[in-house]
Amino acid sequence: MPVSSAISMAPQLVPGRPIVQLEHVSKTFSNGTVALKDMTLTIGEGEFVSLLGPSGCGKSTALRIIAGLGEATTGRVEWPTMAHDATGKVERAIGFVFQEPTLMPWATVFKNVWLPLRLAGISKQAARARVMEALDMVGLASFADAYPRELSGGMKMRVSIARALVTRPRVLLMDEPFAALDEITRQKLNDDLLRLWAQFGWTVVFVTHSVFESVYLSTRIVVMAPRPGRVIDEIAVAAPSPRDLAFRTSPEYSELTRRTSQSLHSALGANDHL
């Protein structure tokens, strides 16, 4: 594919029906910090969207609002295709992966992954098949009886991902999940995540600081700037799957990282006067 056709403003690329829509979402914390200002974003089913931007531009705040872990001050988040309970509250079929694996050190890998099902009242026996399925997806089925202290950093993150997958979410929300890992482990987890995404067809919203990671993983990159946190650019990445070393070393990848770096640079420059 010629480089120019892989780069365009993103809206043409939205492939499926909208699964989540942020409509003019703003968030001001009680100390007066405007973490998000007027964020409008539609994410289609099956997209892999990265939120990319410098520290403090509101990426985590946006992700938490999407997850229902935080409230927007103004604006709305709509889930047009998700079920609602009897009170009209949306039943978000989501999994959330934090930057730290946040595992219970005293519990086995199995018990850590069982946690979301246990909280939903599902017994260990009834949960067994689903826990093992989730562990199998991340390649850790044989570590079910291990404790977190016996695992490497990458394996702990895999357990954390399995814990997010055990509820069989339609949308996976990931807040810089690989930032603390070494480069080789990070690339391996990038590849495994892409393979699972292609296989299971989830929608992924992925927060990152890394231009390279965002280009490698995403179908669309949403670039954000701080003070106030806002969207300043969207970049479509039309390169087909599977993405691999050939893509990582292609002229198309270089051009996309150049274009994305420029955009990130202007995100920083937008606040030079502050």
Ligand X SMILES: Nc1ncnc2c1ncn2[C@@H]1O[C@H](COP(=O)(O)OP(=O)(O)OP(=O)(O)O)[C@@H](O)[C@H]1O
Binding site for ligand X (CB under 6 A): 29, 31, 33, 35, 53, 55-61, 209, 229
Choice between 175 and 252, CB closer to ligand X: 175
SS3 of 204, please?
strand
The answer to whether residues 194 and 224 touch, using CB atoms and an 8 Å cutoff, is no
The answer to whether residues 178 and 157 touch, using CB atoms and an 8 Å cutoff, is yes
Radius of gyration of the chain (CA): 19
Choice between 61 and 108, CB closer to ligand X: 61
| Token pair recorded at residue 3 | 């480089």
Overall size of the chain counted in residues: 274
Residue 139 CB, shortest distance to ligand X, in Å, is 28
Choice between 59 and 170, CB closer to ligand X: 59
| Token pair recorded at residue 84 | 């609602």
Q: Which amino acid is at 29?
A: F
Residue 123 CB, shortest distance to ligand X, in Å, is 36
Residue 261 CB, shortest distance to ligand X, in Å, is 17
- Using alpha carbons, list the distances in angstroms from residue 262 to 37, 115, 159, 213: 22, 42, 35, 15
Choice between 54 and 148, CB closer to ligand X: 54
Choice between 27 and 130, CB closer to ligand X: 27
For helices 109-119 and 153-165, give the axis angle rounded to 10 degrees.
30
Choice between 162 and 174, CB closer to ligand X: 174
Residue 20 CB, shortest distance to ligand X, in Å, is 17
Which residues does 234 contact at the CB level (< 8 Å), separation at least 6? 9, 10, 11, 220, 221, 222, 223
The answer to whether residues 261 and 215 touch, using CB atoms and an 8 Å cutoff, is no
The answer to whether residues 260 and 223 touch, using CB atoms and an 8 Å cutoff, is yes
Strand order in the sheet with 34-44: 34-44, 18-28, 74-78
Residue 189 CB, shortest distance to ligand X, in Å, is 19
Residue 177 CB, shortest distance to ligand X, in Å, is 12
- How many CB atoms within 10 Å of residue 140? 21
Residue 65 CB, shortest distance to ligand X, in Å, is 9
Choice between 60 and 263, CB closer to ligand X: 60
Task: Give the side-chain half-sphere CA count within 13 A for 54.
Answer: 16
Choice between 66 and 171, CB closer to ligand X: 66
Residue 57 CB, shortest distance to ligand X, in Å, is 4
